[in-house]
A and B are shown apart, each in its own frame.
Chain A
């Protein structure tokens, strides 16, 4: 179920602009990896290249290799749609489909692709995914209500459940808690801790305490100045990055002397 990710000399461009330069990183299966760094340093851009969401934007592309269990997702003939079914993504703001019920939101990944399934199978997926996202008890009586009626934290967990439902190997999270209150944030962080038993989780966060709480390993990205590309500065075990960083920039950043 869970796969490793290796980036080799990955450059990411918006048109002619080099946004992220020379990323080399190995992310272990069944772990939580946090990307931290100041705004505009390319951590979200890099995250979006991992499931080829990056190229949805006009003119955006990536060069280099990005291996999923040894297979290059940027290799010739690879269908980005297939990559995205294997690498799911949760966004900054909860975005349940407004026209669908909670149940349909969970099944969206299957139904939208036209997969036929029996009602029993569908029910099983809904329950399993919602339980996996710690949301089952809260919504089991109103599965046919619109997903947009839930609270912000519930909506975000619904989006996580929706991602789990297509059984990906990797889950990417782009600042999943930045639009949530502290209590909902706690619920999502607990969930992230449970998810790593089955999935490879990569999370972008602005909140260093959050990175320290949830991540096994932490990658620090930085940018030399406006118009310069973002770079991966340091990547190590979370407690090393926060307590004993090897790089001066990392130390400045985590100790709050920077940005």
Chain B
């Protein structure tokens, strides 16, 4: 079925053919196998001509490749149509288009990874202190750095942003995991398909679609209400709303539906026989759930939670409007603003620490972006490993 298999079969056919090629009834009317090479060569030459004419002097390689590719796809269609038939030509056209889609998709995706690696890696290797220092007094360092011609170590770092991301995500997980787990347990083990469980399922779906910035606004408004109601409404108190915990609430709104969905799916695949076996031993339902059902599904649940954490760890907008940003370390999510890694990247790129010397800020941002991607990728990888390694052994049925 695959491309190579088809080619191999074709070669075998030509090699074993007792009659000269083209005479066989099975291969009659087929194009010789070198046609595509000829069309490709023609397309490249023609493309070069067009680009040279249009560019009027300077030769654009990207333009040349794009135009040649279009010419090749068209040329193959016309050639096949003339030499074979319309159905074959259509088939070939779509095959080429699908391959083209694949290549078009690869370009930006590879470019994203490459730009982060190219811009971030060298900075990070040359300035490992970025990982554990904060931005206290970095602006002056940046100006000095630029004045000296852009050599030597870059001032500051994003250690405080790593701490912020860690603490905010940790508290988000502390809120979301119990709520998400218990809700999915309710849906799978306790509800019997009534209106209430259908309402929960429906609203979990709705929650999946909440834009992250709206989740941020909600968390802000909620904490504002809590603080003005129970603590006070002076400007100083209003300032308190912007703290790491508010961001954790915002991220929870995004994280809970993901946890509920994945856990629910995992609990549903636990075979009912195991629950019945446990009930038949006189084990209570809650112990059956905690000791039999959850341990059996734990690998899937854990990997789902890890993926949810990976998703919210990369969120920027909801943290920006809830936790703000600061230049220094802050370990306390309940007091004062906090910088998360994505917010750090955003702020450094848009509002460099020293406006007259933006380059070090942008370098730091790329290094932080690399770090963020590494964290998210590592979480994804861990999720896959958990799902594979800790899955219960298949029963020998």
A and B touching (Cβ–Cβ under 8 A): yes
Binding site for B on A (CB under 8 A): 51, 53, 56, 58-59, 81-86, 88-89, 91, 93-99, 108-109, 111-114, 146, 148-152, 155, 159, 162-163, 166, 179
- Contact flags (1/0) for B279-307 with A, using CB distance below 8 Å? 11111100110011001100000000000
Given contacts A85-B282, A163-B280, contact A97 B397 (CB under 8 A): no
A58-B197 Cα distance, complex, nearest whole Å = 15
- Contact flags (1/0) for B373-397 with A, using CB distance below 8 Å? 0000000000000000000111111
**A85 lies within 8 A of B281 (CB):** yes
**B396 lies within 8 A of A81 (CB):** no
> Is the C-beta of B17 less than 8 angstroms from some C-beta in chain A?
no
Chain B residues touching A, range = 20 to 34
**A146 lies within 8 A of B284 (CB):** no
**A99 lies within 8 A of B392 (CB):** yes
- List B residues 218-276 near A (Cβ within 8 Å): 271, 273-276
**A112 lies within 8 A of B280 (CB):** no
23 interchain pairs, CB-CB under 8 A: A53-B280, A81-B284, A83-B282, A86-B282, A89-B280, A91-B277, A93-B397, A95-B271, A95-B274, A97-B277, A97-B278, A98-B274, A98-B395, A109-B283, A111-B291, A112-B288, A112-B291, A112-B292, A152-B396, A155-B395, A155-B396, A166-B282, A179-B397
**B394 lies within 8 A of A51 (CB):** no
A113 proximity list for chain B (CB < 8 A): 282-284, 287
A229-B136 Cα distance, complex, nearest whole Å = 81
A155 proximity list for chain B (CB < 8 A): 395-396
Given contacts A113-B287, A114-B287, contact A96 B395 (CB under 8 A): yes
> Is the C-beta of B95 less than 8 angstroms from some C-beta in chain A?
no
B280 proximity list for chain A (CB < 8 A): 51, 53, 84, 88-89, 91, 163
A85-B291 Cα distance, complex, nearest whole Å = 17
A82 proximity list for chain B (CB < 8 A): 282
B278 proximity list for chain A (CB < 8 A): 97, 108, 112
B23 proximity list for chain A (CB < 8 A): none
A96-B292 Cα distance, complex, nearest whole Å = 11
Binding site for A on B (CB under 8 A): 192-193, 271, 273-284, 287-288, 291-292, 295-296, 392-397
A86 proximity list for chain B (CB < 8 A): 282
B275 proximity list for chain A (CB < 8 A): 56
**B393 lies within 8 A of A98 (CB):** yes
A157-B29 Cα distance, complex, nearest whole Å = 68
A162-B397 Cα distance, complex, nearest whole Å = 19
Whole-angstrom distance between the Cβ of A14 and the nearest chain B Cβ: 13
**A88 lies within 8 A of B281 (CB):** yes
A150-B284 Cα distance, complex, nearest whole Å = 27
A91 proximity list for chain B (CB < 8 A): 273, 276-277, 280
**A109 lies within 8 A of B395 (CB):** no
**A109 lies within 8 A of B281 (CB):** yes
A49-B139 Cα distance, complex, nearest whole Å = 77
B271 proximity list for chain A (CB < 8 A): 95
Q: B279 contacts which of A53, A111, A162 (Cβ < 8 Å)?
A: A53
A85-B283 Cα distance, complex, nearest whole Å = 8
Q: A152 contacts which of B284, B296, B397 (Cβ < 8 Å)?
A: B397
Q: Which 3 A-B pairs have the closest CB atoms?
A: A85-B282, A89-B280, A109-B281
**B276 lies within 8 A of A56 (CB):** yes
A146-B271 Cα distance, complex, nearest whole Å = 17
Name which of B280, B282, B283, B395 has the most chain A CB atoms within 10 A of its CB: B280
- Residue of B at shortest CB range from A111? B291
Q: A148 contacts which of B279, B281, B393 (Cβ < 8 Å)?
A: B393
Whole-angstrom distance between the Cβ of B79 and the nearest chain A Cβ: 59
A163 proximity list for chain B (CB < 8 A): 280-281
**B396 lies within 8 A of A151 (CB):** yes
A162 proximity list for chain B (CB < 8 A): 277, 281
Instruction: List 12 additional A-B contacts (Cβ < 8 Å) besides A98-B393, A112-B291.
Output: A56-B276, A56-B279, A88-B280, A88-B281, A93-B273, A94-B397, A95-B271, A95-B274, A108-B283, A111-B291, A149-B396, A159-B277
**A95 lies within 8 A of B277 (CB):** yes
Whole-angstrom distance between the Cβ of B188 and the nearest chain A Cβ: 13
Whole-angstrom distance between the Cβ of B149 and the nearest chain A Cβ: 63
B393 proximity list for chain A (CB < 8 A): 98, 146, 148-149
Name which of B283, B295, B393 has the most chain A CB atoms within 10 A of its CB: B283
